[in-house]
Amino acid sequence: MRKSGFTVYGLRFTVFLLGIALLFAACGGAPRQEAATDTVTDDYGRTVVVPASPTRVVSLSPAVTEIMFALGADDILVGRTDFCEFPPEAAGIPSIGGISNLNIEKILSLNPDLVISGSMVGKKVTDQMDQMGTPMVCVVEKPRFDALYDNISAIGRLVGKEREADSLVESLKRKVESLLTDTSPSTFNSQPASCYYVVGYGPGGNFTAGGNTFINDIIRMAGGRNIAEEVEGWSYSLEALVKEDPDYIIVRREDSAAFVGMKPYNTLRAVREGHVIGIVSGTLDLQVPRNIDAILYLRKRMNNN
């Protein structure tokens, strides 16, 4: 009887302890497993701790958004800017508004675990986001075309798509190698065709892509010569444009009609002779995989005239 009683009471005591343990765990007493993190250094030189596998990402850059879609990471994209228009499916992602006047409260309302910004977002804003407790990493557009590969790899690492990024980079490199192997200069009067890319025009000033830009590289890879290749930065004088009188004018398609109808641009030889190339926005002015399309399109247009 004594042995039997000890067994019953021992069993009851064990059940009691088990109940206490379960209650303790339910109340948060059991240690929680921390989410895996990664540490990266962004293009502002900031060291940022980010989730190793983010599930809710807000993009503050059209280039970042486009690359995320190209990597198949759009399923974790929960926010984007009004300017993130490619691919068309991006329209289905909630917008947080513009870029220069970011609505931080709206960004935070999407409950992101990672925000990725681009060249148009300053370090001050990234620091503000850090203070809010949301990691923000800046991936900027860089002067050389080859930096596209680095940006794809960086974004791939951030969104857990490293293999896809490696595959995309290798594919782009093969296309570029094939293009350069098959490249002959786009000639005009037996000389490489001179080109001018319109970034801004009119009373506010004239702006183009100088030699220290990836856009300059694209024009060169298409077989042309950028008349602003000696310029650093974006400002270009109207006097220099008129003097150079380039063989081709490259302008965003939506700006083409207004540009060719405005004085004194309508007096330029390229305008008079129908050598104005309207190009799809984003293919040339963003550092994205579609830069390959821009090279092909510019070459085709210049070689067919």
pLDDT score for 13: 38
Q: Helix, strand or coil for residue 134?
A: coil
Residue 278 backbone phi and psi in degrees, to 5: -85, 120
The average pLDDT across 62-70 equals 98
Q: How far apart are CA 221 and CA 206, in angstroms?
A: 24
| Whether residue 175 has pLDDT greater than 70 | yes
Candidates 289, 295, 264; CA nearest to 71 is 289
- The token pair that represents 291 in the structure block: 């830069």
Q: How far is CA 27 from CA 14, 23, 90, 204, in A?
A: 20, 6, 42, 63
Residue 31 pLDDT: 45
Query: How many CB atoms neighbour CB 51 within 10 A?
Result: 18
What's at 189, amino acid-wise? N
Domains along the chain with CATH numbers: 37-170 (3.40.50.1980), 184-303 (3.40.50.1980)
Model confidence at 2: pLDDT above 50: no
Half-sphere exposure of 91 (CA within 13 A, CB side): 4
From residue 32, give the alpha-carbon distance in Å to each of 6, 28, 53: 36, 8, 18
Identify the weakest region by mean pLDDT among 146-150, 197-201, 300-304. 300-304
The CA distances from residue 213 to 105, 130, 146, in Å, are: 34, 30, 11
What pLDDT score does 15 carry? 40
**pLDDT value for 67:** 98
User: Residue 180 — very low, low, confident or very high, per pLDDT cuts 50/70/90?
Assistant: confident
What count of other Cβ atoms lies within 10 Å of the Cβ of residue 229?
A: 16
| pLDDT band, residue 187 (cuts 50/70/90) | low
pLDDT per residue as tens digits for the range 193-246: 999 999 999 999 999 999 999 999 999 999 999 999 999 889 999 999 999 999
Over its C-alpha atoms, the chain yields an Rg (Å, rounded) of 27
H or E element: which one contains 176?
helix 162-181
